[in-house]
Chain A
């Protein structure tokens, strides 16, 4: 197994074991930490996510992890992959459980699916849905342009006019399924729970 400089950020709320399983399968042994100094120096960061936005942001701020992530990504050019809530935390702000500011790495806000958007669909959006990726996406290299990935969420970012849109998904209407711009990557779905499609996406991320 390759020892690597992959750091999985542990803020007490992620589905950590699942994320680690996927990297182990790809023969990488990530470091799991909540230490801001380790995070600030990491070359590759994973921000996983199962949880509520507000609780997660409070935890990231209290521990100084928010600053450490921004130092690594914005100052040192380290690459980051946010997964599900992790992606949302990278946004400007979220309206889950009141308005809360995010890390600001993705210039988009996070809001609950509205009934106008989803029509007769249910909330949460749970299950495998077809993700449509852009042909020049690095994350989706080698993955069919419409491929199934696992979603479990009630909040989303919109894709309209966003530079860095890598993939969209349709759930009544279109929302942002994946984002990539320079060293900043994020997926609303769970690649670690999406069979070979997800494993290949993680492999592509590591290859950047």
Chain B
């Protein structure tokens, strides 16, 4: 049977890895810090997937980002999705040649210029992760934001989620702007934005502060994977412990035998 997934999301900003709270960024450390505190570059048994996003405000340097991706992906044998400002096939190809297996698209989802179809006809729709940043506007319902959460998109979030999920994409990454980095737990109401007959896998993100939050997200039938980007909450062996706790909570995650490969 298909297992659920635990995803770690890394936010990259001009050489630094960031902690985000309601989309305000705080620098945590460079790649050396990351490798010291998280072992993604050795075989990782704590996560099922890595997402790396270039959230650099202002101009992005694709070359440096690709270099960071290459370093991160060395020795990391779980799938990696990468993105941030991807709006051309060439940029997507650069990421796929630097360690990414899938490409994350956000702002370009809301521009109806045929780019998503072009990307899908090149790499297949299974290669495209549609990342949607959503905010609870109280009485005004949920709204979708593009450009790193800075630009509100007209029409309701529910309509956009329907539009995006019918587009040529592989999976949907639903991220709560108001829960982002708070550690208060996921906004489970985000899942009500999904059409009942949604046929694409759903990743829930924004707000997880501990293993129970991750397990709560994964226990919902509509959720295929949960993501956390909290660099401080899971430092050291935090992810490994969280994984054990999720499995103890009855969620089926993939299992590996780390002694299977006997390197001579």
A and B: partners?
yes
Chain A interface residues toward B at CB < 8 A: 12-18, 21-22, 24-27, 50-52, 54-55, 85, 96-97, 121-130, 142-144, 148, 150, 152-154, 170-171, 190, 192-200, 203
Asked if A150 and B201 make an inter-chain contact with CB atoms under 8 angstroms apart, the answer reads no
* Residue in B2, B77, B120 whose CB lies within 8 Å of A192: B77
Contacts of A171 in B (CB 8 A): 2
Q: If A142-B260, A150-B79, A200-B261 touch, does A128 touch B254 (CB 8 Å cutoff)? A: yes
Q: Closest residue to A49 on the B side, CB-wise?
A: B124
Q: Which 5 A-B pairs have the closest CB atoms?
A: A128-B254, A124-B126, A148-B254, A196-B260, A196-B261
Please give the residue numbers on chain B whose beta carbons come within 8 Å of chain A beta carbons, in ascending order.
Answer: 1-5, 43-45, 48, 70, 73-80, 93, 96-102, 120-127, 170-171, 198-201, 224-225, 254-261, 263
Q: Hey, which chain B residues are within 8 Å of A197, CB to CB?
A: 256, 260
| A164 → chain B closest CB, angstroms | 25
Q: Could you say which residues of chain A place their CB within 8 Å of the CB of B257?
A: 144, 196
Asked if residues B256 and A148 are in contact (CB atoms below 8 Å), the reply is: yes
14 more CB-based (< 8 A) A-B contacts, given A85-B124, A190-B101, A196-B260? A13-B96, A18-B80, A21-B99, A50-B127, A51-B124, A122-B199, A124-B170, A127-B3, A127-B254, A148-B255, A153-B126, A154-B125, A190-B79, A196-B77
Residues of B within 8 A of A26 (CB): 263
* Bound CA span A97–B123, Å: 12
Q: How many A-B residue pairs have CB under 8 A?
A: 143
Give the Cβ gap from A141 to chain B, nearest Cβ, in Å. 11
Could you name 13 residue pairs across A and B whose Cβ atoms are closer than 8 Å? A13-B123, A16-B96, A18-B99, A21-B74, A50-B124, A124-B125, A124-B126, A126-B170, A126-B224, A127-B5, A128-B3, A148-B254, A190-B101
A193 to B102, CA, bound (A): 12
CA distance A70 to B102 in the complex (A): 29
CB–CB A126/B171 < 8 A: yes
Q: Are B122 and A127 in contact (CB under 8 A)?
A: no
Contact at A123–B1, with CB atoms within 8 Å?
A: no
Contacts A122-B201, A124-B201, A153-B126 given: A130-B73 contact, CB under 8 Å?
A: no
Distance of B67 from chain A, by nearest CB (Å): 11
A195 to B258, CA, bound (A): 8
- Distance to closest chain A CB from B216 (angstroms): 19
A195 touching B124, Cβ below 8 Å: no
Residues of B within 8 A of A16 (CB): 96-97
What is the distance, in angstroms, from A158's C-beta to the closest C-beta of chain B? Answer: 18
Q: Is the CB of B200 within 8 A of A124?
A: yes
Q: Report which of A13, A18, A144, A203 forms a contact with B101, defined as CB distance below 8 A.
A: A18
Whole-angstrom distance between the alpha carbons of A149 and B201 in the complex? 17
Q: In the complex, A142→B262 CA distance in Å?
A: 11
Residue of chain A at shortest CB distance from B80:
A18
Which residues of chain B are within 8 angstroms of A199 by Cβ–Cβ distance?
77, 261
B98 touches A17 (CB 8 A): yes
- Indicate if the CB atoms of A15 and B43 lie closer than 8 Å: no
User: A97 vs B97: C-alpha distance in the bound complex, in angstroms?
Assistant: 24
Closest Cβ neighbor of A51 among chain B residues: B123
* CB-based contact B101/A152 at 8 Å: yes
- Minimal Cβ-Cβ distance residue in A for B3: A128
Residue of B whose beta carbon sits closest to that of A203: B261
A196-B5 CB under 8 A given contacts A85-B124, A126-B170, A152-B126: no
Which residues of B lie under 8 Å from residue A123 when comparing CB positions? 199-200
* Closest Cβ neighbor of A125 among chain B residues: B2
Q: Which of B45, B79, B97, B255 is close to A17, meaning CB atoms less than 8 Å apart?
A: B97
What chain B residues lie within 8 Å of A128 (beta carbons)? 2-3, 5, 48, 254
Tell me, rounded to whole Å, the shortest Cβ–Cβ distance linking B75 to chain A: 6
B124 partner residues in chain A, CB cutoff 8 A: 50-52, 85, 96, 154
Residues B79 and A152 in contact, CB atoms below 8 Å apart: yes
Whether B99 pairs with A196 at a CB distance below 8 angstroms is no
Minimum C-beta distance from A57 to chain B (A)? 13
CB-CB < 8 A to A52: which residues of B?
Answer: 120-124
Residue of A with least CB distance to B48:
A128
- Cα A17 to Cα B170 in complex, Å, equals 21
